[in-house]
Amino acid sequence: MITLKNGNVLIGSDLVKKDILIDKEVIVKIDDNINEGEVIDCTNLTILPSFIDCHVHFREPGFEYKATIKEEAKVAAKGGYTDVFMMPNLKPSPSDLESVKVLDELRRDAVINCHILGTITKDEKSEVLSDMDAIKSYVKGFSDDGKGVKTADLMYQAMLNAKRLNRPIIAHSEDESLLYGGVIREGAWNKDHLIPGILDVSETVQLARDLVLAEKTNCQYHLCHISSRYSLELIKWYKKRCNVSCEVTPHHLVLNEMNLVDDGAYKMNPPLSSVEDQKALIEGLKDGSIDIISTDHAPHSNEEKSKGLLKSPFGIVGLETSFPLIYTNFVKTGIISLKRLVDLMSLNESKLFHLDSHEIIEGNKANLTIVDLNKEFIIDDKFILSRSKAIPFMGMKVNGLVKYTILNGGIVYEA
């Protein structure tokens, strides 16, 4: 047994000073003056439901020189996460039973729950569907993240299958015919610096197609890393008509195109948006139209990311910095509440993707993140545990240090 002593516990919408007794995997008691088993002093610390990220890239199998599941699971635990969904752009990609079983074996050494997403199309080549029926019992959903599904017919057939199998489509929406060789968002910064830009509507055009199909099929549809105000307006309208949700990344909330530097740490897909898009996404946090904050954690080798905006690959890391960035920029400033942050980083994910709730109540499994909200620190190379140091927040001062991460009653990270 473990007693978490004198912590400020998020119960419902309120922080309440209570003790929590954990026996085996379960929260068995929330009360005053508990002193059973091992006692962990949580004075001046805040106890929250542990975080869930439905969008990470752990690079194994096929790209172990960038990262491995075992390594990045420890990175996630340091960030307060106990559950992540691994995107399927791998070699081999989880498109059939044999490939999925490889991934299932690799995830067994992870310190947290690493859920599998299968591909929508075979090897993400958008020519034929993956073997969705064969892999359904292993996967939490289907995604071709990194690529948009090219044809309406293929997406329509995928949605029919996903609906029948009771799994969501988790979509990277991007019409590649509108990219024009761009590497950042088309806008003021790209024109001033003569770096090719990507049209903002490349996301929205394909999203519009998908939403029409989602209404037609009644499939659960989740949009990855929303970056455009036009996309958000479509999502808001279709939420009244079909089962649609969306996520936003911390970097699209905290930064915009005017923060760009010609450095690979600022290159991600979708790219940093305009000031107007950023404002709309922040409003989406406030009004509830955005459901989830996900990191799109995507490690690359530091050599790969040293080639500037033109030649570096897309993708940055974010699991270790997500909570402090959102807490510092949006909770401390009064834009959203701590409860809203927890909904965005934990409780909404569990509802949407049918995981056990991480809500802190007696009888639930003890999946908890314990943070020091008052601890101020600087994001730097020493803080980032991931092999990849590609992150545009180096040198930023933030609050909200994760002290412990607890999965099923066991400590998987301790600062």
CATH, residue 83: 3.20.20.140
Sign of CA pseudo-dihedral 271, 276, 279, 284: negative
Is the pTM here over 0.95, yes or no?
Answer: yes
**Residues in the chain, pLDDT under 70:** none
236: its two tokens: 């808001």
Does residue 18 sit in the same domain as residue 115?
A: no
8 A C-beta contact, residue 118 and residue 94: yes
Does residue 110 sit in the same domain as residue 39?
A: no
Does residue 221 sit in the same domain as residue 265?
A: yes
Does residue 42 sit in the same domain as residue 95?
A: no
User: Does 168 reside within a domain?
Assistant: yes
Q: Name the residue among 377, 374, 369, 299 with its Cα closest to residue 341.
A: 369
Phi, psi of 275 (to 5 degrees): -60, -40
User: Final residue of a domain: which of 309, 329, 352?
Assistant: 352
Q: According to the model, what pLDDT value does residue 127 have?
A: 85
The structure tokens 């903002």 sit at 200
User: Final residue of a domain: which of 329, 352, 375?
Assistant: 352
Please tell me the chain's helix, strand, coil percentages from 3-state DSSP, rounded to the nearest 5. Answer: 35, 25, 40
**What is the CA 204 to chain-centroid distance, rounded?**
20
Q: According to the model, what pLDDT value does residue 311 have?
A: 97
Catalytic site residue from 53, 210, 291, 296: 296
188-218 tens-digit pLDDT: 999 999 999 999 999 999 999 999 999 999 9
Q: According to the model, what pLDDT value does residue 3 have?
A: 98
Query: Bridge-partner residues for 86, per DSSP?
Result: 56, 116
How many domains does the chain divide into?
2
Q: According to the model, what pLDDT value does residue 77 have?
A: 98
Does residue 334 sit in the same domain as residue 307?
A: yes
User: Final residue of a domain: which of 331, 352, 373?
Assistant: 352
* Upstream peptide bond of 392 is cis (omega within 30 degrees of 0): no
Does residue 62 sit in the same domain as residue 104?
A: yes
User: Does 394 reside within a domain?
Assistant: yes
**What residues make up the domain containing 379?**
2-46+364-414
Q: According to the model, what pLDDT value does residue 146 have?
A: 87
User: Does 368 reside within a domain?
Assistant: yes
Does residue 330 sit in the same domain as residue 368?
A: no
Does residue 29 sit in the same domain as residue 128?
A: no
Query: Bridge-partner residues for 292, per DSSP?
Result: 247
Does residue 39 sit in the same domain as residue 56?
A: no
- H or E segment to which residue 104 belongs: helix 97-106
Does residue 314 sit in the same domain as residue 401?
A: no
What does the alpha-carbon distance between residue 279 and residue 18 come to, in Å, rounded to a whole number? 37
- Residue 380 bears catalytic tag: no
Rounded to 5 degrees, what angle do the CA atoms 213, 218, 221 make? Answer: 70
Q: According to the model, what pLDDT value does residue 408 have?
A: 97
338: its two tokens: 């701590």
Q: Name the residue among 140, 113, 139 with its Cα closest to residue 408.
A: 113
36: its two tokens: 């059973």
Does residue 410 sit in the same domain as residue 264?
A: no
What does the alpha-carbon distance between residue 360 and residue 114 come to, in Å, rounded to a whole number? 22
The CATH number covering residue 8 comes to 2.30.40.10
Alpha helices in 2-93 (DSSP H): 69-78
Does residue 368 sit in the same domain as residue 336?
A: no
